[in-house]
Structure 1
Amino acid sequence: AGGAYVPIDPGYPASRISYMAGDARLSALLTWGQGAVATADLKLPRIALDEWRVLAEYSVKPLAHNVRADAFAYAIYTSGSTGQPKCVLLNHRGRINNIEDYCRRLELGETDRVLCVSSLSFDISVCNIFCMFRSGGCVIFPSLDRLNDPDHWLDVMQERSVTFWHSAPALMDALLEVTSERRYDRNSLRVALLGGDWIPLSQPKRARAAFPRLRFVTAGGATELSIDSTFYPVDEIDPAWRSIPVWAGRWPTKAHWSSMRTWRSCHRGYPGELHLGWCWDGCRLHETGQPFPPRNSFHIRGPRDRGNGSTRTGDLARDGNLEYLGRADDQVKIRG
């Protein structure tokens, strides 16, 4: 229809759901399962996607629309430093850039299938869903009553011949625990894309032991810019690494690190704050109800920006093979 979507996790507290609905100025709700219960207090038009008889009465004729590349595609709420969740709106242009590159680098096609184990409110789900739509693959969801059950994940992966896995490292760890305890088809999974948190040095080896043909790739980035801004295929583990790098080589966005005191580029090997470069025309990000752009984070002119800008991520890195060293501020991450 040409509108932007706002994913809301039904597990959120009612106060958070109410805040998000008002802040994003929602015009309608699409619900299924527990989503209908969690949003029952919201006075908005709604369509229940699990009421098949009602859905069958709607026309299947495609709607006429004229969506521009710089129109908003979706809004994702991230952790806000003020105590309230922060809404970031992202356009079609940058997401298409990201998804096209994913499909090319990961060689995704019609025979690929992804199991979505991440919440739809996490932007990993954007990659999972739209990469499959773009490549002609298939999107598979766990049963609603077993969303967090790794045994069920493995069952579904076997039944549906899942080839692509994309999640935070903790969910991969949970899956690997199950694979060590039971029999399964070890040759179905061919790509694992991990991001969003620190990746243990042991994980690539454990994952390949469980799935011998697996290609292990790390990715990361700021939700405010893209699904992912960094990409690193992991082959051999360097004994000097402290954790798995999240970037090396070329990617559609640029990255560099600078001193938090002077904002000058750091020498290789010295920790600094990670900046992700972006093209203004391809980004067009916005925060609802907030001054645009936020002066402390966006539109910084760095020595390598060449007329565009960059975003301060708050993450620490030390060289061109980007390794997460922690945060430059006092933010902490709990269970991803």
Structure 2
Amino acid sequence: MDANAQPDGEALHRLVARAAEQQPDAPAVIDETGTTSYGELDRMADRFAAAFTARGVRAGDRVVLWAAKSAHVVAAMQGALRIGALYVPVAPSNPVARLLRIARSCAPALVVTDDRGRGLAASAPWPDEGEGAVPAPVTAAVLLAEGALLPAPPAHRNAPDDPAYILYTSGSTGEPKGVCISHRNALAFVRWAARSTALTPADRLANHAPFNFDLSVYDLYGAFLAGASVRLVPADLAYAPDRLVDLVRDEGITVWYSVPSIILLMMREGGWLAKPPTLRVCVYAGEPFPVQQAKELRAAWPGVRMFNWYGPTETNVCTAYEVTDADLDRTGPLPIGTACSGDTVLLEGVDEEGTGEIVVSGPTVMLGYWGRSPHEGPYRTGDLGRYDAHGEIDYAGRRDHMVKVRGHRIELGEIEAALGSLDSIAEAVVVVRGTGLEARLHAVVVGRDGRRPSLLDVKRHCAQRLPAYMVVNSLDVIEEFPRTANGKTDRAALQALPHLV
């Protein structure tokens, strides 16, 4: 199957159905229980669609999926799409209280879980009656059994701009925000990504990200578009670098996609630099990759294509840059590249230093946040960028990481990028300690290969790259950064560490 081929209509659920028609015995999803073929996945999706319909789920309704990653959950996603419903993945690491906040936001017709989720729900007060009621969870196994006794409903004929799924992210008010993505939004990215990475049926992708994280969209739907297979990485392996590297080697993974923090962990503790024999593509996104480590990886893997993809959940991937041997001489950060996925990406409000806000328009821009007015016009990312000499966009940090220290406006991401180019530093985060005239820049770093950079080393390095007012004042070296559920550096937790207060 050709990843450049156009699926029938603008519908995510047509990808699996088409692959099942053309190659029913080919592997589709591999999880801890074994391999599910495209024909089996197609039949499971129909069983879920039948069970959902019998339980009253209709087009436009929401189905929450609160369960560990498995072929059954992937089939449930497909089953929801086949009847025109939206699926809402919620990682099983979310406690019942947060699940209920998400459920009250999207008002699902059904909550699907597994045995673990059923046990958690049973042990907590569950609001299944009255105001704020949420449907009691039902396990995927029960639904599959119900669907086996029912005829499959006809596939829903959706419009391209119909919503397909909702991904909940953290909200600045403390309440999760539901990013609503249409079939057109997702497919514009997936088609571009499959072409960019030249996916074929022979590929086996690794799905490291949880299903509620937008990185998983490429893993799943890129595989389905190409007729390739996807290996679901269970949560208990997500932060085990040696076991992750073993999985890639032992299971013939050809395409890896994750946040840089995970790749850095695999480089430091998993032997990732000894290239897995089948790996041909490595993609990272979600946060900056320290340039020294990126160059080290590039040099170690001459035959592997490496990509830096950028985009918030609200746009998925909207710019891309391929890391090549030409970058081995680079001293500054790697760029996030140029517009992709059919999008237009501009810098607005550019200041005297050439820095402006990254603004995205085009087919990948979300429908809006669930429960709010539809999004209209370009999406303002809140991220800052500037053009380099080659017309590529350099990421310059977040607007909300912009601080003022002793009267100077400072973007912390720029200091972090400078620190990341020091060969004794694997990762770096800069925070502000104190307020007013007492405000100081404090760096928290993880040493590379067990090294512990000194404050003098760090100051000297910063002084060579930054104005004097951006040179850090103090330093902490720690063993490992705290991580969010998506594997990114948890800045809030880092700021709350006792020695930083």
1:288 — aligned with what?
A: 370
1:114 — aligned with what?
A: 205
1:321 — aligned with what?
A: 392
Distance 1:157 1:50 in 2: 29
Query: Which structure has the larger Rg?
Result: 2
CA 1:313–1:56 in 2, change beyond 3 Å: closer, same or farther?
A: closer
Residue identity in the other structure for 1:315 = D
2:140 — aligned with what?
A: 49
**More helix per residue:** 2
What is the Cα deviation at residue 284 of structure 1?
Answer: 5.8
Distance 1:153 1:326 in 2: 29
Show the 5 A alignment for 1:113-262.
113-180=204-271, 186-209=276-299, 211-225=301-315, 227-235=316-324, 236-237=326-327, 242-248=332-338, 251-259=341-349
Tell me if structure 2 keeps the 8 A contact 1:116–1:142.
yes
Tell me if structure 2 keeps the 8 A contact 1:5–1:75.
yes
Deviations, residues 170-217 of structure 1 (Å, cap 9, x unaligned): 0111222244389x7632111111111111102333334554421110
CA 1:33–1:155 in 2, change beyond 3 Å: closer, same or farther?
A: farther
Could you say what the CA RMSD is over the residues aligned between the two structures, in angstroms?
A: 2.9
What is the Cα deviation at residue 149 of structure 1?
Answer: 1.6
Distance 2:93 2:286 in 1: 20
Aligned to 1:95, the other structure's residue is in SS state helix
Tell me if structure 2 keeps the 8 A contact 1:245–1:323.
yes
CA 1:143–1:310 in 2, change beyond 3 Å: closer, same or farther?
A: closer
Residue identity in the other structure for 2:321 = Y
Distance 1:77 1:15 in 2: 14
1:27 — aligned with what?
A: 109
**More strand per residue:** 2
Distance 1:78 1:58 in 2: 37
Deviations, residues 216-264 of structure 1 (Å, cap 9, x unaligned): 1011112112x211111111227565322112365511111122xxxxx
Distance 1:206 1:34 in 2: 41
Tell me if structure 2 keeps the 8 A contact 1:10–1:38.
no
CA 1:53–1:239 in 2, change beyond 3 Å: closer, same or farther?
A: closer
Tell me if structure 1 keeps the 8 A contact 2:244–2:270.
no
Question: 251, 272, 278: which one pairs with 2:356?
Answer: 272
What is the Cα deviation at residue 67 of structure 1?
Answer: 1.9
Q: Structure 2 regions of 5+ residues with no counterpart?
A: 1-81, 129-134, 403-411, 413-428, 430-481, 489-501
CA 1:313–1:39 in 2, change beyond 3 Å: closer, same or farther?
A: farther
Distance 2:89 2:96 in 1: 15
Structure 1 stretch 100-109 or stretch 61-70: which is displaced more?
61-70
CA 1:210–1:48 in 2, change beyond 3 Å: closer, same or farther?
A: farther
Structure 1 stretch 130-139 or stretch 322-331: which is displaced more?
322-331
Tell me if structure 2 keeps the 8 A contact 1:176–1:206.
no
1:296 — aligned with what?
A: none
- Provide the identity percentage: 27
Distance 1:323 1:266 in 2: 15
Aligned to 2:88, the other structure's residue is in SS state coil
CA 1:30–1:45 in 2, change beyond 3 Å: closer, same or farther?
A: same
Aligned to 1:157, the other structure's residue is in SS state helix
Aligned to 1:314, the other structure's residue is in SS state strand
Structure 1 stretch 47-56 or stretch 126-135: which is displaced more?
47-56
CA 1:230–1:275 in 2, change beyond 3 Å: closer, same or farther?
A: same
Distance 2:91 2:340 in 1: 34
Residue identity in the other structure for 1:155 = D
Residue identity in the other structure for 2:397 = G
CA 1:99–1:82 in 2, change beyond 3 Å: closer, same or farther?
A: same
Distance 1:22 1:52 in 2: 22
Q: Structure 1 regions of 5+ residues with no counterpart?
A: 260-264, 294-298, 300-308
Tell me if structure 2 keeps the 8 A contact 1:187–1:211.
no
Distance 2:332 2:319 in 1: 18
Aligned to 1:324, the other structure's residue is in SS state strand
Show the 5 A alignment for 1:58-137.
58=149, 61=152, 63-137=154-228
CA 1:45–1:57 in 2, change beyond 3 Å: closer, same or farther?
A: farther
CA 1:224–1:42 in 2, change beyond 3 Å: closer, same or farther?
A: farther
How many matched pairs? 312
Tell me if structure 2 keeps the 8 A contact 1:316–1:328.
yes
**Larger RCO (CA under 8 A, 6+ residues apart):** 1
